[in-house]
Structure 1
Amino acid sequence: MSLQTCTAVYAGGFSNPPVTAAHAFRAAMNAMARPGQIQNISGAIPPAGVSVAAGTLLLTLCDPETGVYLAPGLDSDALRGWLTFHTGAPVVEAGQADFALGTWDALLPLARFRAGTAEYPDRSATLIVEVPGFGPPNAVLKGPGIKGTAQMQLPEISAFRNNAVLYPLGVDFFFTAGAQVAALPRSTQVTAEA
């Protein structure tokens, strides 16, 4: 490991962990409770290639009991070291992941992630999808936490429609860009924007 990689491992954590983690956790929960609504989230400075929002989610939600899958393109010695140093979370294969980080294409196919079981639907994966930004909406969202409908840009429609059919099973999603996050829980019904 180079000196630069070593330095990146130890830097970038929360400057005031209890306060920063509490604010970040609230932003993450607000995003999940209000599908499609963008929240600001910050506090972490992850290694290059990972957004502030994704890094902050990882530091907030992960611990030594939560396995994290790092998709190709984002998986690096620096990120593995940073994640281990700041959270203790083990890096695991997709099928064992509680959380997964990557771009949409790198995370496919979704079927390789745990969708829960009838007895334990909560034993499913949450995917943190890095997106270039939150552009014009192409999807209409309905379901819990949404008054009427909401709109959001999604990488595709069919995958989220198929995921919602599995409810109460399925995976949940956070979308991250810069210091912003939006979420799409498995309970959300998705249709294409007219």
Structure 2
Amino acid sequence: MSTLNPAAGSAGLSPGFADPVAQAQACFRAVLDAMARPGRVHTITGVAPPAPLDAATAAVLLTLVDHETPLWLDAALRETAPWLAFHCGAPVVTDPRAAAFAAARGLPDLDRFDAGTHEMPETAATIVVQVQALGVGPRFRLSGPGLREPAGFAVTGLPADFSARWAANHRLFPCGIDLILCAGDRLAALPRSVTIEEDG
């Protein structure tokens, strides 16, 4: 497994959470609720990461990633590897299939990541995707676990063929990739169990 050097450029790094325990707990609860209620948008506070990381992206990674969870970063976010490695202790890997978590600006190819197995679906990767906006833009209809009835969801910054790409991922269930979408200080989750269709 190839990794990036976490020590490189570690001097002068900006802080993580202002109140690590309380804010990590609050973010963890927000992520749990977002996974349980697909499409519901939560606001995250208390972190000011280096660009180009959004606050919500940084908070999710600070909360969920540690020395036991290999992290993959796309080219757009790779410059933040020293900050994430310093604050999370995570090994930053160059092979997407070796990653437990990934972060990217825009949706990467889901086929590049570990979707788990039927014996161990919980080993599938979770991808934190920075998008342009949540609550505005192209609309989708979500249905499945956690939703009593189909719910609308709008997001700006996903590819035009997202619904088709998601359908292929959803067909792998109980395997498949989970997504956490982040825009600024806001996040929403799309677990692999949810069905997503274009709405209008």
Superposition TM-score, scaled by structure 2 size: 0.88
SS of equivalent to 1:138: strand
Q: Which has the larger displacement, 14-23 or 146-155?
A: 146-155
SS of equivalent to 1:102: strand
User: Residues 1-194 of structure 1 correspond to what in structure 2 (within 5 A)?
Assistant: 6-7=11-12, 9=13, 11-76=14-79, 79-92=80-93, 93-105=95-107, 107=108, 109-134=109-134, 135-153=136-154, 155=158, 156-194=162-200
* Deviation at residue 6 of structure 1 after TM alignment: 2.6
* Deviation at residue 137 of structure 1 after TM alignment: 4.3
C-alpha distance in 2, partners of 1:51/1:12? 14
Q: Which has the larger displacement, 79-88 or 179-188?
A: 79-88
- The structure with more helix, counted as a fraction of residues: 1
Structure 1 unaligned residues grouped into runs of 5+: none
After TM superposition, the runs of 4+ consecutive aligned structure 1 residues lying more than 2 A away are none
* Cα offsets for 1:108-136 (capped at 9, x unmatched): x2101000011100001001000011223
What RMSD in Å do the two structures reach over aligned CA positions? Answer: 1.4
How many residue pairs get aligned? The number is 186
C-alpha distance in 1, partners of 2:78/2:176? 24
SS of equivalent to 1:151: strand
- The structure with more strand, counted as a fraction of residues: 2
Residues 140 and 176 (structure 1), Cα distance of their counterparts in 2 relative to 1, 3 Å cut: same
SS of equivalent to 2:87: helix
C-alpha distance in 2, partners of 1:137/1:34? 20
Find the counterpart in structure 1 of residue 5 from structure 2.
Answer: none
* Cα offsets for 1:145-183 (capped at 9, x unmatched): 112011223522111111111110000000000100000
